[in-house]
């Protein structure tokens, strides 16, 4: 009997290892037990406790009328504090927040697992979801910066977080990555493998990590052949788009911005001011378009022309070959 139990255990472990090696996420009872213990331990730590360190992170509400807020978390200052500590700390923040549609849940699960859900209930209540303690999903924005969201936010039908989508676009993933509900932004320092401060200042469109992220993710996409659901490396290289009163394109050397102007506008009616991080187009009738640029341009290499009622700006990139995921930094 003991031999049979041992063989069964080995067979189960082999199966789990095989599935994980082929990209299938498998959660065992032991995983759940360890995760619960980690959540409880993380939640018990307080700023200033002996043997702990604290770090900042930011909440980005889905409701755009609410401001971004900065928070402090505490982790062990030893081996137990290695790796990202935010997922278990944030789990409770994702424990409620909406009804989970059972049909959507079945569609999201393998058939063999979905069959065990039964047909009696049509929804899971927020209380039932809360009883599970919440689950955090991490989305990599850069080599050090991560976005944290409710793992079942879409199943709860939480509202789209447009500001979170904006951060993903700035980081080079394009506009097609959607996040549901409130999200959080945090940092894990690559050199120490520990959480480090991510502050409100880091959410500015001109923050250094955003520029680094675009380059890092472009290279990752080239290496991996594109990111499913996002934007391919080739598309990102020539990415343009539409803005308020303009459209734009780019190549490895320049960014081109097209601005329609009123009929009858002549060259002498137009004034363009160039700076390394800002361009302003003024038209005689009072129209003014200030553009706070995503990256630096070389003012001496910039020019404009007027043709068929459209002012075309040609902006020379300060760093040739740099890819701009978006035109403006804000």
What is the structure's pLDDT at 222? Answer: 63
Residues of the chain with CATH 2.60.40.790: 238-316
What is the structure's pLDDT at 32? Answer: 53
> Which position has the token pair 């640029």?
293
Can you give the pTM of this predicted structure? Answer: 0.55
Return the CATH fold of 238-316.
Answer: Immunoglobulin-like (2.60.40)
What is the structure's pLDDT at 120? Answer: 41
What is the structure's pLDDT at 56? Answer: 96
Q: How far apart are CA 255 and CA 315, in angstroms?
A: 5
pLDDT digit string, tens, across residues 188-237: 998 999 999 999 999 988 788 988 887 777 777 666 655 444 444 445 55
Reference 230, options 238, 222, 243, 221; nearest CA is 221
What is the structure's pLDDT at 240? Answer: 77
What is the structure's pLDDT at 228? Answer: 41
Name the stretches of the chain with pLDDT < 50.
Answer: 5, 7-8, 22-27, 101-127, 129-130, 227-234
Question: If you write DSSP's letter for every residue of 116-175 in order, what string do you get?
Answer: GG-SS-SEE-HHHHHHTT--EEEEESSSSEEEEEETTTTTTTPPB-HHHHHHHIIIII-T
Q: What are phi and psi of 230, to 5 degrees?
A: -110, -125
Q: How far apart are CA 298 and CA 316, in angstroms?
A: 6
What is the structure's pLDDT at 125? Answer: 47
What is the structure's pLDDT at 243? Answer: 82
Instruction: Report the C-alpha dihedral over residues 73, 77, 81, 83, rounded to 10 degrees.
Output: 90
């Amino acid at each position: 009997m003991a031999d049979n139990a041992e063989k069964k255990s080995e067979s189960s472990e082999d199966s789990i290892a095989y599935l994980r090696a082929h990209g299938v996420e498998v959660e065992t009872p032991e995983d759940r037990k360890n995760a619960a213990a980690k959540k409880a331990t993380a939640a018990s730590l307080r700023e200033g406790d002996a043997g702990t360190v604290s770090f900042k992170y930011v909440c980005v509400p889905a409701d755009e009328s609410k401001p971004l807020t900065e928070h402090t978390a505490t982790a062990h200052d030893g081996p137990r504090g290695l790796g990202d500590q935010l997922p278990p700390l944030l789990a409770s923040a994702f424990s409620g927040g909406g009804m989970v549609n059972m049909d959507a849940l079945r569609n999201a699960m393998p058939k063999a697992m979905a069959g065990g859900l039964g047909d009696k209930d049509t929804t899971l209540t927020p209380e039932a979801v809360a009883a599970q303690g919440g689950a955090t999903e991490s989305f990599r924005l850069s080599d050090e910066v991560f976005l944290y969201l409710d793992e079942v936010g879409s199943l709860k039908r939480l509202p789209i977080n447009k500001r979170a989508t904006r951060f993903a676009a700035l980081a080079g993933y394009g506009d097609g990555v959607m996040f549901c509900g409130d999200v959080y932004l945090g940092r894990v320092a690559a050199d120490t493998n520990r959480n480090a401060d991510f502050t409100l200042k880091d959410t500015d469109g001109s923050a250094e990590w955003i520029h680094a992220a675009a380059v890092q993710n472009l290279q990752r996409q080239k290496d991996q052949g594109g990111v499913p659901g996002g934007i391919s490396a080739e598309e990102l290289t020539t990415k343009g788009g539409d803005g308020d009163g303009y459209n734009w394109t780019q190549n490895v050397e320049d960014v081109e911005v097209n601005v329609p102007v009123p009929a009858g506008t002549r060259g002498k009616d137009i004034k363009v001011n160039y700076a390394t991080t800002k361009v302003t187009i003024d038209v005689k009738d009072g129209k003014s378009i200030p553009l706070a640029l995503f990256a630096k341009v070389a003012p001496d290499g910039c020019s404009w022309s007027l043709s068929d009622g459209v002012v075309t700006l040609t902006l020379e990139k300060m760093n040739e070959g740099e890819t701009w995921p978006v035109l403006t930094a804000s």
